[in-house]
Amino acid sequence: SGGERFRAALAATMLAAPAPQLLLLDEPTNNLDLAGVRQLTSALESYEGAFVIAGHDLPFLESVGITRWILLDDELRESDAEEVRELFGSPESTSWAAGWNTRPSRAEAEGGDGDGR
C-alpha cells in the first residue's frame, strides 16, 4: 500500500549514513493508518535534522511540535491554529500548515554545539 511504501522509504532515508539534514514532507499522514501515524510521529520526535511539513492533519502537526508560518500580503510570520481558524474557517479542511522542527538537536540539548554529525 501507499502507507507501507512511505514507511519503508522514510525508514531507509532516516537510517542512511549520513542521515539527511532536512526532510520535506507533503501530507505525510494521508496513506497511513493510526499505527503508521504513531510511528511517523515517533521517528520525527527522535530525528535530529530539520523538517518541513505541509499538511492539514492538525493533531499530527501539533504532536510533532512544528512552528506554523503563514504568508499573507507578502508577509511571512508565525501563526497559530486560532489565527488560521479566523482567516480560513476550519483548518481541518484547508491545507495550510507548514513548519519545521524547532527543538534543539540531542547534541545541543546535552550541551554540545550540534555539529557532531
Sequence-ordered alpha helix ranges (H) in the chain: 2-14, 34-46, 58-63, 81-88, 106-109
Tell whether the model's pLDDT for residue 113 goes beyond 80: no
Return the ∠ at Cα 82 (arms to 56 and 38), rounded to 5°: 40
Fold category of 2-105 in CATH:
Rossmann fold (3.40.50)
Average confidence score pLDDT of the chain: 76
Nearest to 79 by CA among 93, 58, 60: 58
Q: How does pLDDT run across 14-58, given as a tens digit for each residue?
A: 788 888 888 889 889 988 889 889 989 988 888 888 888 888 788
Going 52 to 56 to 60 to 66, the CA torsion angle's sign is positive
Q: What pTM does this model have?
A: 0.64
Written as nine digits, the cell of 107 is 547534541
Q: How far apart are CA 53 and CA 101, in angstroms?
A: 9
